[in-house]
Structure 1
Amino acid sequence: MVIIFHFFSHITQPSGSSSQALLAYLHSFICNNKDFITKAKEAEEMLEGKALIKETDMPEKMKTQATDSASQALDLYDVSDCISIASHIKKEFDKKYGGGWQCVVGSNFGCFFTHTKGTFVYFALGTLNFLIFKGSSS
């Protein structure tokens, strides 16, 4: 992992200490900073163009459709054209799973909604966040 290696390459070993002491220090650092490592892994996945699922109750196949549709929309539209990206994804879901789907795309948004069970996913892909769900009346 590049980020951790870069950090460790800047650690200076105290004079007279053994490589065992340095390894013990590194092991202690990794064990005590799991949140840092998790964030680094998430960042690495996002740089590789993989979707980072933040929350979902969708079946695996539908979730894959969501991330694939988002990836396809990003290939078709400029990253700043969030409305066209959201529209593309919504139309794909309406066509495949019936009407009533909603899609929100952006880097900073808040929302409050009721969704049909098994139809919600929230994920990040690149610099954008994606919220896809089928609305519910109650």
Structure 2
Amino acid sequence: MDINIRNEIEKDYREVEELTREAFWNLYVPGANEHFIVHNLRESKSFIKELDFVAIHEDKIVGNIIYTLSYIEDESNKKHEVITFGPVSILPEFQNRGIGRKLIEHSINKAKDLSYKAIIIYGYPDYYSKYGGSVQESL
């Protein structure tokens, strides 16, 4: 399947929110709220525009990944900047075709280029375990 990945632009916002709602509809709870999360994250000062990507198939947006700045705090209360991704949204009819993997791998490479050192995943742990590693691995 031919997939192109590019940064999301403002004119994509509504389409991405709609595909996010469809991707998560009735998955974990009745209805979905992930599209609202995406909407609000874009307004946050922690939003990383350079790591907000859409997957395109035949001129249609079929997937999205979004990142924000975050931190972890160690035992001595020192804060370490990291980044968090999620949700990763793929239209239902395009799920299980490797699009999410392409978005994740593409964005991880871009995060490395931007000198980020670690990523925290916001999502379902059992799903992401298939990518190898653990939440303790760093870039």
TM-score (normalised: structure 2): 0.26
Q: Which structure shows the higher helix fraction?
A: 1
TM-score normalised per structure 1 = 0.27
State the structure with bigger RCO (CA 8 A, min sep 6), 1 or 2.
Answer: 1
Higher-strand-fraction structure? 2
